[in-house]
Chains A and B, each alone.
Chain A
Amino acid sequence: MKFRELEKNCRKSTEGFAEHMTLAILGDCATQHLAKAIRGYAYTKEIAMDIFDADYDQMEAQILDPGSELYEKQPDAVLLWFCTEKLYAAFCKCTDRSRFAEEMMEKYKRYYALLEQRLGGRILQFNFTEQDDRVFGNYANKTAESFLYQLRKLNLMLMEEAQLQKNLFVIDLAYLQNQYGMEKIKDAKMYYLAKMPLSTHILPQVAAEVLSVLEAIRGRIKKCVVVDLDQTLWGGVIGDDGMEHIQIGELGQGQAFSDFQNWLKELRKRGILLAVCSKNEEDTAKEPFLKHPEMVLRLEDIALFVANWENKADNIRYIQKTLNIGMDSMVFLDDNPFERNLVRSLIPEITVPELPEDPSQYVSYLQSLNLFETASYSGADKDRTRMYREEMDRKDLQKQYGDYEEYLKDLEMKAQAKPFDPFHYARIAQLSQRSNQFNLRTIRYTEQEVEHLAKSKDHLTMYVTLQDKFGDYGLISVVVLDKMPSDTLFISEWLMSCRVLKRGVEEFIMDQIVELARKNGFQTVTAEYLPTAKNAMVSELYERMGMNKEGEGRYRVSVSEYQAHKTCICQEGELQ
């Protein structure tokens, strides 16, 4: 996309767009073109983006003055842009150069603290495009007094700080510089003439990165990759060539396919589910995953394996239903343009990248799309595939039972409900960003906000973990309760992973909520359902749970009248 088109989008009406965002841009350079690019790019995603764009010499005042327009606007997120040119100017004036990066970081940290305290929203910050003054030549890598050394150190310190400050997200301009080159991203005269550190040619890519991060924070992320096999995961056709002759590893162009599989495996470890969708006999298709010594992906890496002769759109719908995730969180990879077009036309929500013809370009092309942006990561992500596979085993067991209740009893479910604790902040924040369907008020929490809730005296919190005889689901539900006047406890958020639906877990949690209310001396529990495009499944949850409807989406139940449910879940441990 070209900057010119984004600029034009800014003049188009965003009326009717369901999504709205407000973003403040604060830079020590000119940011108007960037603001246009972001607004224009948001338009292509059907997001109405309201941008507060401060003058570049106003940056400090906006952050420091508690009465500034910035704080009046209360944007959802703030984008900070400290440019390399200004950094260099500050470096030249600095006397203790070996400590320059630390000094800058101290300044940023003061800003983060003020923004956190007065806004509480997300902070996005560009890292620094790399530039060296060549005053030391290559020796710059050998002395802490060089600009290059301090700049690279500062970029690393930003990454370290972003791990501590959960509300801070770094946007990687240095990566874009690497991809596109200095020639494309900068024009020195534009900095002198207009204080523009980046050329308009690169702004569409910059805007795309900003939007990716903002969308990931909002929970718009990819969760699953559906892959074809022949000519996609390996060279050749398994049904014709036989397992010995498919190209993978050392054979033919096999290395390109191995690298592609390796990349998919890395995604799997990050928590992306892999599913196979192939026109093949199932046994033939599975054979390489079981027996080929050079296959990188093995059967246990695949959450769901579908090989038959049905049309791929139907198979993908089956995969989506079985994994129980949104179609817009899925990516379909197939070397065959016919299949891609078929899927694209029958399922418009799914992302179907236009894979290059040359398999050696698969990985670099897919990486350039940055499809897998995320706003959270926890160590448990690598287990997600295993959990889904265990789920398949459960479904198999379920088929053997005539009576669902009997089946549930046989699962030997055990659950624990506990107040938020530091070990689970990351996972709680992540679940709040990922859950769209079973989510009563769709509030997205960052880790920082989770920590705040955990420590707050005005709230009670609860997370629930579940296991059964097939395995451990881990943390599957989050509840946040607000203490209200007149002994009332308000369920300000309740969300749950859809993987555990219809097992009595909702009933179990509702019981826990009321029990928690009772123990803490509350008389009444109230709740609210806020509809979104995706959470219709819980529109009648509170009624089903035994609460009384009081008005549109509002519910109430008195603790003394509440009837606890009968479930097949054994409770472990005590509530707070």
Chain B
Amino acid sequence: MSREEILEKLNEIFQDMFDDEDLEITEETVADDVEGWDSLMHISLIEEVEDAFDIRFTMVEVNGMQNVGEMVSIIAERM
């Protein structure tokens, strides 16, 4: 799966979770850019993404992700 494909799949998950069909995330998107992306939502998001891609993030990764791009990189590495 290419970075673009991963991002596309992530975008669908984000749209669904934040209940916003117009949401368009990029690799530069950070939590502050998305309404409702707080620390609680981050946990649900992580578990949803793990499920969707059938991967597990490590504790350090969950804590250290700075933007969507970093999430994409980790997923790309695992697939």
Contact = CB atoms under 8 A, between A and B. Distances in A.
B16 A4 contact: yes
B17 interface: yes
B19 A194 contact: no
Contacts of B16: 4
Given A11-B19, A189-B59, A193-B59, A199 B40 contact: no
Nearest to B50: A187
A33 interface: yes
Nearest to B62: A193
B59 A201 contact: no
A33 B40 contact: yes
A7 interface: yes
A4 B17 contact: yes
Nearest to B36: A11
Contact of A189 (B19, B48, B58): B58
A155 B19 CA distance: 40
B44 A3 contact: yes
B39 A201 contact: no
Contact of A192 (B48, B51, B59): B59
Contacts of A469: none
A467 interface: no
B2 interface: no
A32 B40 contact: yes
Chain B interface bracket (under 10, 10 to 19, 20 to 34, 35 or more): 10 to 19
A200 interface: yes
Contact of B43 (A4, A8, A11, A196): A196
Contacts of A8: 19
A33 B58 CA distance: 20
Contact of A190 (B19, B43, B58): B43
Contacts of B44: 3-4, 7, 33, 200
B47 interface: yes
Interface string A390-403: 00000000000000
Interface centre among B56, B59, B63 (most CB of A within 10 A): B59
A32 B51 CA distance: 21
Contacts of B17: 4, 7
A245 B27 CA distance: 67
A116 B31 CA distance: 43
Contacts, number: 38
A203 to B, nearest CB: 9
A31 to B, nearest CB: 11
Interface string B46-76: 0110010000111100110000000000000
A33 B46 CA distance: 13
A11 B41 CA distance: 13
A195 to B, nearest CB: 10
Nearest to B16: A4
Contact of A200 (B43, B56, B58, B63): B43
B59 A200 contact: no
Most buried by B among A189, A190, A201: A189
Nearest to A199: B47
Nearest to A3: B44
Contacts of B47: 3, 187, 190, 199-201
B43 A194 contact: yes
A439 to B, nearest CB: 41
A3 B39 CA distance: 16
B3 to A, nearest CB: 24
A461 to B, nearest CB: 47
B66 to A, nearest CB: 16
B58 A4 contact: no
A15 to B, nearest CB: 18
A11 B36 CA distance: 11
Contacts of A194: 39, 43
Contacts of B51: 201
Interface in A1-58: 3-4, 7-8, 11, 32-33, 36
A11 to B, nearest CB: 7
B62 to A, nearest CB: 6
Best-surrounded residue of B39, B48, B58, B63 (most CB of chain A within 10 A): B48
A33 to B, nearest CB: 7
Contacts of A200: 43-44, 47-48
Nearest to A2: B48
Smallest CB-CB A-B distances: 7 pairs:
A189-B59, A200-B47, A194-B43, A200-B44, A32-B40, A8-B19, A192-B59
12 contacts: A3-B44, A4-B48, A8-B19, A11-B19, A33-B40, A36-B40, A190-B43, A190-B47, A193-B43, A194-B39, A196-B43, A200-B43
Interface of B: 16-17, 19, 39-40, 43-44, 47-48, 51, 56-59, 62-63
Given A4-B48, A7-B17, A194-B43, 14 more contacts: A3-B47, A4-B16, A4-B44, A7-B44, A32-B40, A187-B47, A189-B58, A189-B62, A190-B43, A193-B59, A200-B43, A200-B44, A201-B47, A201-B51
